[in-house]
Amino acid sequence: MPRATLTEELKLIESIVAAHPSGIGITAIEAEMAQGQGGKPNRRTLQRRLQKLIGEQRLTTEGESIALVYKLISGSVVPASGSMTLTATATAEAELYVPVSPEGAVIRDQVRLALMHRRPVGYQRDFLQAYQPGETFYLPEPLRLQLHEMGRTSANERPAGTYARDILGRLLVDLSWASSKLEGNTYSRLDTLNLIELGQVAKGKDAIETQMILNHKAAIEMLIEDADEVGFDAFTFKNLHAVLSQDLMRDPQACGRLRRRPVDISGTVFHPLALPQVVEDCFMQLLDKAAAIPDPFEQAFFLMVQLPYLQPFEDVNKRVSRIGANIPLFKHNLCPLSFIDVPEHAYIEGTLGVYELNQIELLRDVFIWAYERSCQRYLAIAQTMVEPNPLKIKYREALIQAVQTVVKGLRQPSPAVIAEVAQDHAAQADQAAFREMLTAALQQLHEGSIARYRLRRSEYIAWQHAQDHA
């Protein structure tokens, strides 16, 4: 079963405690969690989760030592099902939500029914096969035209990925934070900013949450840096999964590989495909269809619908779909989709509508609202941006190679070394400007920025060590 997010674990613990009005001890909580998760939770992790719930005034304690029990604080709201991963709850009504179409409202109401009232369903291969690129459209033409109007940028005639690079600093923080938040990550945007820009790990946060943020950052940089080469192909998506799932999979061998075993998703009556060969066949068919779709927004939304539905990887499928949905937007220099401020319940329920009903209208409502929100943010930012240095655009690849030459060669960033390296990477007329760019790049290099120069952390540390002992 896919790893539960922090939010999902907290909901599960809270629901277990709620079922014992007179209180329940940590050993009994462990036992009930083991039944639901298929394995006993780590005691120290469980203690941290319980302390977090106490700190949020959702739980309280009575007694001491071995007699200590946990109780639900009166007035706390607990999901009725207590299930993990994809739980549609009645509390969503009281939370922030996106504007919903009449069709979306019907889907929302259906997926909010108790599990016992929803019919179990398996993967419907016809849902994918019936889609014909260029003929079938999840996004009607007026909607696509509206999205193009919203997402158009001043970089539309420039090389692929130019606009994303122009707003890279903001995009790395926003998309890494917002996508992780949809997985239950509790990092704040400021925490995420400090981690990405300064390498500062937020105090009191789980190592898994930190790793999730860093994986998002690396995945986004990978797609933007290679915007000309990435596409809707197996190589791109397997590598995207490998980066997003690094150090987060129970089986490290599953990173970047299609799953070879069945998976279950708690909180839904949907059962994904089980046969590895069929998963692989559908995965290739999905990518072939995506590549053939003529409109970038239709491509993005098609991926958000079909990839999580197929569950081609053991875990991290929704993250792959959210980051992968930006590929056509990066390529066409359209405003990216950051998922900033997207309500978690709306996203989950839209996804459940696809899983259980093969209906896309609620998820489409979420997609449209999320994209409009992203456009408002980034187009406002673009108005205040300084025009990029044309030499930085001209020598972008050369600068990456020059930084690599210095770092991998364990060379000191002295004026003589800078001048020598610059001679090999820039025209004579641009030597002075290139030396300045290289000097600045090396001075600003840190663990949070090495991925943009395609450097490994071990290479950067070795270079730092060489400088310290020079």
* Sequence ranges of the binding site for ATP: 315-322
Query: Would you say 345 and 111 are in contact if contact means Cβ atoms under 8 Å apart?
Result: no
Using DSSP's 3-state secondary structure scheme, residue 61 falls into strand
CA-CA distance, 100 to 367, in Å (whole number)?
11
Token digits of residue 341: 């401020």
H or E stretch at 398: helix 396-408
CA-CA distance, 303 to 306, in Å (whole number)?
5
Query: Would you say 311 and 272 are in contact if contact means Cβ atoms under 8 Å apart?
Result: yes
Q: How far is CA 226 from CA 9, 234, 319, in A?
A: 36, 15, 19
Give the number of other CB atoms < 10 A from CB of residue 158.
Answer: 15
CA-CA distance, 247 to 245, in Å (whole number)?
6
Measure the CA angle with vertex 182, ends 70 and 103; round to 5°: 110
Query: Would you say 258 and 275 are in contact if contact means Cβ atoms under 8 Å apart?
Result: no
CA-CA distance, 469 to 204, in Å (whole number)?
34
Give the number of other CB atoms < 10 A from CB of residue 238.
Answer: 17
Give the orientation angle of helix 102-111 with respect to helix 361-383, to 10 degrees.
Answer: 120
Measure the CA angle with vertex 262, ends 259 and 264; round to 5°: 115
Token digits of residue 442: 């090396």
Q: Which amino acid makes up residue 84?
A: M
Give the orientation angle of helix 296-310 with respect to helix 317-324, to 10 degrees.
Answer: 170
CA-CA distance, 11 to 286, in Å (whole number)?
34
CA 33 from centre of chain: 26
What DSSP string describes 367-385? HHHHHHHHHHHHHHHHHTP
Q: Report DSSP state, residue 24.
A: B
| Length of the chain, in residues | 470
Q: Report DSSP state, residue 39.
A: S
Q: What are the binding residues?
A: 315-322
Query: In the beta sheet, which residues pair with residue 431?
Result: none
